[in-house]
Homo-oligomer: A and B are copies of this chain.
Amino acid sequence: MTKDEVKGAAEAEQAQSKKGLKKQQKEAEKAAKKAEKQAKLATEQQGTEEDDFAKDRYGMLPMFQSQEKLERVLVRVQDLTPEKADQLIWLRARVHTSRAKGKQCFLVLRQQQFNVQALVAVGDRASKQMVKFAANITKESIVDVEASVRKVEQKIESCSQQDVELHIERIFVVSQAEPRLPLQLDDAVRPETEGEEEGRATVNQDTRLDNRVIDLRTTTSQAVFRLQSGVCQLFRDTLTNKGFVEIQTPKIISAASEGGANVFTVSYFKTSAYLAQSPQLYKQMCICADFEKVFCVGPWAEDSNTHRHLTEFVGLDIEMAFNYHYHEVIDSITDTMVQIFKGLRDNFQTEIQTVNKQFPSEPFKFLEPTLRLEYTEGVAMLREAGVEMGDEEDLSTPNEKLLGRLVKEKYDTDFYVLDKYPLAVRPFYTMPDPNNMKYSNSYDMFMRGEEILSGAQRVHDPQLLTERAMHHQIDLEKIKSYIDSFRFGAPPHGGGGIGLERVCMLYLGLHNVRQTSMFPRDPKRLTP
């Protein structure tokens, strides 16, 4: 919320006058006192015996309100290695599990993808009451612990930190979780096969998405979205190094994105507007405006409902002027993809392995340079495999996947380009092939047999563009400012749009794009 939005609320509040302010102050004070009281009570409940020598070593902390600046160093779970043996450290983590056993309580403490075993045992540093307190901390609560790091004889297979455990000397609850979790994290990371074979619980997609904040805490989700962040970074860094400029194009537009149907109407003051379905026209306008090579990362609306579609998806878009041949564009895009694949392979191996534990898949394979096949070659391969289809027919989704398998068998790659699509199946702004008017200077790119990018050389001549738009029965009035952009000198150019969620899904060998969208939107889902 910007300050100015706040102001509206503020003015409304001020109207309530000082009386309102006082009331509010009292309420807040009351709330703070209540919280403090509860904390005290909880501590007292644990320590019923007056003679608890360890009573200052555990308890519920009052709500963190930045009461003081504490210069305490908190160690990261992933840094708990044998080098830290016998050090006394402070750590903040979630209680992943806890298990009381006589005079001891074993905890697993978790931070994102990492976890460590911890132990509170009755002795010099912990009382019976303290162990009982620790055992009663609800799962997913956040705790601060002071503990000494100890090497273990036998590796702890169930934790990411296998060589050490923590001997807790102090434990305080920073934020307490309600006792009943809407889903169990261990269930949420269980491979489906294991669930089926051993009859153990797994979590279905709707439950996951309904309780996304909990589901996102799993090792798998943490890995997926860290990798997604990496894809965006690799995409942008590669293009920035190639001299591309990042642009921001509007998401609220006055007419359909590409002259097609207006899917999502927006109320816009006294008129109507639409949600943009791609940055297509705007990124081309930036080329006409001399930015030469541009990219953008942004959300787009789409009206589809399949395993690989979202109503709102993130597009990684590229557009560039080229010198003589649109294969210069293909080369730039495929090199960008290869840099992404290499970056993931080299820097996100932990994440890939983590996801693989729950969703096993073959490592993603790619060639350098990228394999480029012509559409007619693809059709020939499909026909050889028994598919009947016309020369200028588009690929159906099953045929796309079949072709992916055939290409993998023949060339051993999960990534390739299919070039020179039939003109008839491409949008109006696609440049026709100069040698065969049935085809066009356009291409799709595939990962594991599914399309992740569609692109082309664009028509940069306003006259031909007008003719092509008319042929597609597009209302010229609605794309006037777009066509006019080409009237004052336009360089030959091309580009393409990549679906971020699809790239992540297919790179990791997942099967539903909702797994790679933090808060997915589809025709039936608008929350959370």
A434 touches B66 (CB 8 A): yes
A521 within 8 A of B: yes
- Given the complex of chains A and B, what is the CA–CA distance between A248 and B181 in angstroms? 25
A392 within 8 A of B: yes
- In chain A, positions 33-80 with a C-beta closer than 8 Å to chain B are 34-35, 63-70, 72, 74
B521 touches A252 (CB 8 A): yes
A425 touches B323 (CB 8 A): no
- Given the complex of chains A and B, what is the CA–CA distance between A66 and B492 in angstroms? 9
- Given the complex of chains A and B, what is the CA–CA distance between A24 and B469 in angstroms? 11
**Taking A181-B488, A245-B226 as contacts, is the C-beta distance between A464 and B298 under 8 angstroms?**
no
Q: Please pick, from B29, B252, B286, B463, the residue contacting A311 in the complex, using a CB distance under 8 A.
A: B252
Min CB distance, A374 to chain B, in Å? Answer: 14
A491 within 8 A of B: yes
- Given the complex of chains A and B, what is the CA–CA distance between A136 and B253 in angstroms? 38
B299 touches A3 (CB 8 A): no
- Given the complex of chains A and B, what is the CA–CA distance between A306 and B9 in angstroms? 18
* Contact flags A1-45 to B (C-beta < 8 A → 1, else 0): 111111111110110000011001101110110110000000000
A371 within 8 A of B: no
- In chain A, positions 300-356 with a C-beta closer than 8 Å to chain B are 301-302, 304, 309, 311-312, 314, 323-327
A187 within 8 A of B: no
B24 touches A489 (CB 8 A): no
A405 within 8 A of B: no
Stretch at the interface among A122-130, A156-164, A269-277: A269-277
- Given the complex of chains A and B, what is the CA–CA distance between A140 and B4 in angstroms? 42
Which range contains the number of A residues in contact with the other chain? 35 or more
* Residue on B nearest A267 in the bound complex, by CB: B265
- Given the complex of chains A and B, what is the CA–CA distance between A217 and B488 in angstroms? 11
- Given the complex of chains A and B, what is the CA–CA distance between A228 and B286 in angstroms? 14
A27 touches B471 (CB 8 A): yes
B247 touches A225 (CB 8 A): yes
Min CB distance, A325 to chain B, in Å? Answer: 4
**Taking A24-B424, A248-B299, A438-B21 as contacts, is the C-beta distance between A175 and B325 under 8 angstroms?**
no
A29 touches B437 (CB 8 A): yes
- Given the complex of chains A and B, what is the CA–CA distance between A460 and B288 in angstroms? 48
Set of chain B residues within 8 Å of A482, measured between Cβ atoms: 528
A282 within 8 A of B: yes
* Contact flags A480-506 to B (C-beta < 8 A → 1, else 0): 011011011111100001011000000
A4 touches B68 (CB 8 A): no
B528 touches A285 (CB 8 A): yes
Min CB distance, A268 to chain B, in Å? Answer: 7
A66 touches B25 (CB 8 A): no
Set of chain B residues within 8 Å of A467, measured between Cβ atoms: 27-28, 31
Min CB distance, A60 to chain B, in Å? Answer: 12
A192 within 8 A of B: no
**Taking A251-B299, A438-B25, A461-B35 as contacts, is the C-beta distance between A264 and B267 under 8 angstroms?**
yes
Stretch at the interface among A196-204, A289-297, A409-417: A289-297
B213 touches A288 (CB 8 A): yes
**Taking A4-B304, A290-B94 as contacts, is the C-beta distance between A25 and B437 under 8 angstroms?**
yes
B246 touches A431 (CB 8 A): no
Set of chain B residues within 8 Å of A226, measured between Cβ atoms: 245
A291 touches B225 (CB 8 A): yes
Q: Please pick, from B34, B66, B424, B457, the residue contacting A14 in the complex, using a CB distance under 8 A.
A: B424
Set of chain B residues within 8 Å of A236, measured between Cβ atoms: 233, 236
Set of chain B residues within 8 Å of A25, measured between Cβ atoms: 423, 437-438
A278 within 8 A of B: yes
- Given the complex of chains A and B, what is the CA–CA distance between A170 and B526 in angstroms? 60
B1 touches A497 (CB 8 A): yes
> 14 A-B contacts, Cβ less than 8 Å apart?
A1-B257, A1-B278, A1-B454, A5-B302, A9-B427, A31-B464, A35-B463, A69-B327, A72-B324, A177-B487, A214-B289, A225-B291, A226-B245, A248-B518
Top-5 shortest CB links A-B? A216-B289, A10-B425, A481-B528, A64-B492, A65-B434
